[in-house]
A and B are shown apart, each in its own frame.
Chain A
Amino acid sequence: MANTTETMNTVAPKVEPEVLSSPTPRQILLTKILGHKGLMFGAIVLLTIFLMALFAPLLAPYDPYHQDLMHRMIPPVWDAKGSWENILGTDHLGRDYLSRLLYGARISLAIGAIAALISGIIGTSMGVAAGYFGGRVDACVTFLINVRLAMPVVLVALAVVALFGGSLQVVITVLGLLLWDRFAVVMRSATLQLRSMEYVTAAKAIGCSTKRILFSEIMPNIANSLIVIVTLEMAHAILLEAALSFLGLGVQPPTPSWGLMVSEGKQMLLFQPWMIAIPGVALFILVLAINLLGDGLRDVSAPENRN
């Protein structure tokens, strides 16, 4: 508990002293967050991966692009033929696997974050507009959501990437433009609920502008569910990028994407299974951490937990 208050003070220095005796909602929330194992686990793992990606140039033992054809497919250190020189071994061009893995984290995280940002902006504006204005706008947005849901994501993404050529920018844009549906659905219903709330009707009555109502009344109140969806869609985008790269129509070599690494390792599935195991496990842990974080955030921010 002492720990909690300390953190509290740094996070929210404005809090008055008497708050300590009767906890504020914010304090309760923080206690819940720290007490939620899944959430904490997810957050710590995600933070670790983030830091590893950020400091990849310092942590990576070698240049991830440096090839050495005479030292190809050296197994990782735990294998009988492995050595400490390349802890996770080398790939089919003799590039250090650990270094590629570290730099690959950057790609996955960037794709997850930017794609979620793009789709979040599209989906949230559509959902909020639909929920707030209702009527034709709502009908129109609902229709767009239906159209979007009806399109097979993987197939459309593959077709578009094939069309424009695989590159990081194209993949991120395609995913961003395809994954906004959940944002729109959830934001629409959340806004719909809020619209009839007293404080919103009150704000309308006193003549607040639509812009003001949207940004100062609606947005703060849907922020919680927004964060949950952001995490879900981040995970979704990361998995989709990996799948696209695996199918050969995603990020192009020599970029060290984890999906691409699995795809390159797939060739040697039979004799060097570690080549797919390592990037696969990395991908799994990253997505798991993001999902646990998202699930945890949903748990702690759920209304019945809020009091």
Chain B
Amino acid sequence: MLVYTLKRLGLALLVTFAVSVLSFALLYLSGDPAAAIAGETANADDIEAVRLHYGLDRPLVVQYGEWMFNAVRGDFGESYYFKLPVSQLVAERLSVTMLLGICGISFALLTAVPLGVAAAVRPNSLVDRIALFLSVMGQAMPSFWFGLVLIVLFSIKLRVLPPSGSDSWQNFVMPTIVLGYYAMPAIMRLTRAGMLDVLGADYVRTARAKGAGEFRVMFKHALRNAIIPVVSLAAVQMGFMLGGSIVVESIFALHGAGYLAWESIGRNDLPTVQALILVFSMFYIVFTFLSDLLNAWLDPRMRVG
């Protein structure tokens, strides 16, 4: 287990490194950072002064090294736009995104798992059809459009939910549904498939033969086994969702990290975008790392691979 953990950790670190290089390089191409910092009224001399002051005239490798060295210590530099430390900005906005992510994944799990179980228990029944229908819909619905439809319905026609902002719990209802619905189909399908597998397995049949109650069979034996891959999928989906929250946040004007990212791209706010790409990637890397560990711990066969 230790060897496996270390190996996975090594891979995770290597991936982090690669992502950091990519995000640094990618955004370095986006025009002259010195001109961006110097601002709208600067002339060529101002820009040159800024270049020297921020050390933007040094070789890229040196600049990357410095950026990474500071980033590891949580210092992502200063936002070109707000002139505030990027880490402070990102930390402020991240709480909203995290909350949204947790709500979203909870919503997805709370709808997908029961539906998946119900669908597996009675394949081809009405429940199964409904579950399939919902998941097919969910995969085909553009999330930005779904969000707008919800706004029309709940904020404009029914006027029961606020269309934007992040001040109260009501602001999170629609974004949660939109974001959660995005992750739901995959979880539902996996739960259903897992349950179908498990329900046909020997030990479930044995349990039934021994006269265990249907409820007990379902939850004690079947679901417990079927849920393992679901948990790891949920972890991965959570990583994706945080990255995907950019669309949802921009529709509902939730002042989260995704919204900040979108705005910062438009404002050429290089340090903020770099930090956000790295942070979102880190979420994915950490979540998949944890889910791999969890899987390996639950299922020793995995540790070999």
Contacts and interface: CB of A to CB of B under 8 A. Distances in A.
Whether A and B touch (Cβ < 8 Å) is answered with yes
Interface of A: 143, 146-147, 149-156, 158-160, 162-163, 235, 239, 242-243, 246-249, 259, 262, 266, 269-270, 273, 276-277, 280, 283-285, 287-288, 291-292, 295
Given A143-B11, A147-B15, A262-B144, A154 B136 contact: no
B243 interface: yes
B225 to A, nearest CB: 21
Interface residues of B, number: 45
Q: Which 5 A-B pairs have the closest CB atoms?
A: A152-B243, A288-B140, A280-B145, A287-B140, A152-B280
Given A151-B277, A155-B246, A163-B29, 12 more contacts: A143-B14, A146-B15, A151-B23, A153-B243, A153-B244, A158-B265, A246-B144, A247-B144, A259-B144, A269-B151, A270-B156, A287-B141
Contacts of A287: 139-142
Name the residue in A153, A160, A246 with the highest tally of chain B Cβ atoms < 10 Å from its Cβ.
Answer: A246
Contacts of B149: 277, 280
A273 B139 CA distance: 23
A171 to B, nearest CB: 15
A151 B22 contact: yes
Interface in B138-195: 139-145, 148-149, 151-152, 156
B243 A154 contact: yes
B262 A284 contact: no
A266 B250 CA distance: 13
B132 to A, nearest CB: 9
Contacts of B244: 152-154
A90 B243 CA distance: 35
A160 B140 contact: no
B27 interface: yes
A269 B142 contact: no
Contacts of A242: 142, 144-145
A168 to B, nearest CB: 19
Nearest to B286: A150
Contacts of A283: 142, 145
Nearest to A266: B148
Nearest to B144: A246
A266 B142 CA distance: 14
Contacts of A291: 136, 139-140
Given A239-B142, A287-B140, A288-B136, A162 B152 contact: no
21 contacts: A149-B288, A154-B243, A154-B246, A154-B247, A155-B246, A155-B273, A159-B30, A159-B265, A159-B273, A163-B27, A242-B142, A243-B144, A246-B247, A247-B262, A262-B142, A277-B149, A284-B142, A285-B140, A287-B141, A291-B140, A295-B136
